[in-house]
Structures are given as C-alpha cells and as structure tokens.
C-alpha cells in the first residue's frame, strides 16, 4: 500500500480533490459501499477513504489513471472472479484496480466486500501471522554505488530490512539503463541525507 499524507480529513472534501479521471469511479465505489454495507464507519487514512467494522476492512484510493479498492485482509479472501490484481506474495493486503466501470463486475466486488466484513466481524478469526517474504536480492548497481559512498552505505545498513527492500525493488525494477541511473542517483542522495524511500523527494 502506498502510504501518503492525506489531503484532508473530510470525506466529501477528499472526493472533490480526487484526480479528475478517478473521481467518478471513486464516487460510485463510495455509493456502493454505503449501499452494501451501511454499518461500516467511514474515515480517512493514508489519503484514502477507509471503512471499518471492528477494524479496517476496505479502503478506496483515487489516482491519476485508476481507482483502487484495498482489502486489508485480502490474502484471506476467496476471489473466484479474479478481481485482485497482483500482490499474491503480500502478507495481508490485496487490491482491486479499476480503470473503468464499463463492464466491471460489481456483483463480484460486492461479494468480496461482504466476505471481508464477515471476516472482520468474527473475533474467532484473528488475522494470521504475517507471511515472511523472501529477502529481495541486492541490485548490483546499488551495491557498487554504496561501496563508493560510506555515508549512504552506513545509513542504508541502519535501515530495517523492510525499508532496505523498498530501495532494492525500486532500483531492480527499472527497465532502461537511464532509468536505473536516475533512480540510483536519487537513492544515494536520499541515503546521504538519512531518508527512507518514501521520503526520498522531501
């Protein structure tokens, strides 16, 4: 999940500040949640509309080219309609990415949300312990760059594995050499200044 500062703590204002493309999708998703699960409480966390019962159940996020429904215990849910997009190795969260509501399977989404609500409501089914992810291999380019910069290397070594992983994934998933070099430069500068990946552009 992309953890970001919230633009506002008011749901109606949040909707008004959604990107133009995803706003109508988010509005429809919000309407569906209210209609399907009126007992859920609405709030804003991480710049998303969040809905909770005993604990957080689902959230709606609006982005420039898509909207997203986040299921906080998604890895425990059956998804016969295959709405979930990626994230099979996630420890708990699964997402439904929506670029258009044309021909979207709203009934399957309703069933997923209902299953998530029932899961949350059952105190005898606590969340399973997080699945340990395999360590992400160190990208060769990052390893070489850190050997040339002690300050950046020392801060990188002080980070928890989760935060190290964010930099490793970011570097290793770049496709073009120029993208690798650009991300590498940003990484080393951020590490020199004691910043985690999410803070790299602060």
Mean pLDDT per 10-residue interval, the chain, length 202 residues? 55 88 95 96 92 95 93 92 80 91 95 96 72 79 94 94 89 90 93 88 66
Give the pLDDT confidence score for residue 134 in this predicted structure.
72
Give the pLDDT confidence score for residue 162 in this predicted structure.
84
Q: What angle do CA 47, 180, 158 make, to 5 degrees?
A: 65
Cβ atoms within 10 A of the Cβ of 124, count?
A: 4
Give the pLDDT confidence score for residue 200 in this predicted structure.
81
Give the pLDDT confidence score for residue 17 in this predicted structure.
87
In whole angstroms, give the CA distance from residue 128 to residue 75. 10
Give the pLDDT confidence score for residue 174 in this predicted structure.
86
pLDDT digits (tens, 9 = 90+) for 14-58: 888 889 999 999 999 999 999 999 999 999 988 899 999 999 999
pTM of the predicted structure, to 2 decimals:
0.62
Sorted by sequence, the CB contacts under 8 Å of residue 133 that are 6+ apart come out as: 89, 91, 165
CATH class of 11-121: alpha beta
In whole angstroms, give the CA distance from residue 172 to residue 183. 10
The residue extents of the domains of the chain are: 11-121, 140-199
In whole angstroms, give the CA distance from residue 108 to residue 176. 38
């Amino acid at each position: 999940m992309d953890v970001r500062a919230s633009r506002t703590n008011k749901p109606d204002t949040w909707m008004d500040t959604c990107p133009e493309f995803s706003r109508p999708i988010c509005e429809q998703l919000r309407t569906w949640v209210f209609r399907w699960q009126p007992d859920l409480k609405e709030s804003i966390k991480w710049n998303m509309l969040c809905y909770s019962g005993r604990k957080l159940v689902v959230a709606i996020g609006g982005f420039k080219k898509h909207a997203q429904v986040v299921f906080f215990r998604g890895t425990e849910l059956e998804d016969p309609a295959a709405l979930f997009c990626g994230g099979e190795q996630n420890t708990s969260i699964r997402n439904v990415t929506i670029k258009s509501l044309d021909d979207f399977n709203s009934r399957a989404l309703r069933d997923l949300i209902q299953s998530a609500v029932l899961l949350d409501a059952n105190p005898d089914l606590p969340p399973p312990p997080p699945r340990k992810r395999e360590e992400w291999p160190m990208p060769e380019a990052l390893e070489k760059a850190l050997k040339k910069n002690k300050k950046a290397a020392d801060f990188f070594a002080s980070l928890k594995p989760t935060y190290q992983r964010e930099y490793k994934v970011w570097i290793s998933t770049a496709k073009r050499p120029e993208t690798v070099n650009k991300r590498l430069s940003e990484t080393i500068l951020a590490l020199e200044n004691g910043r985690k990946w999410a803070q790299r552009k602060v």
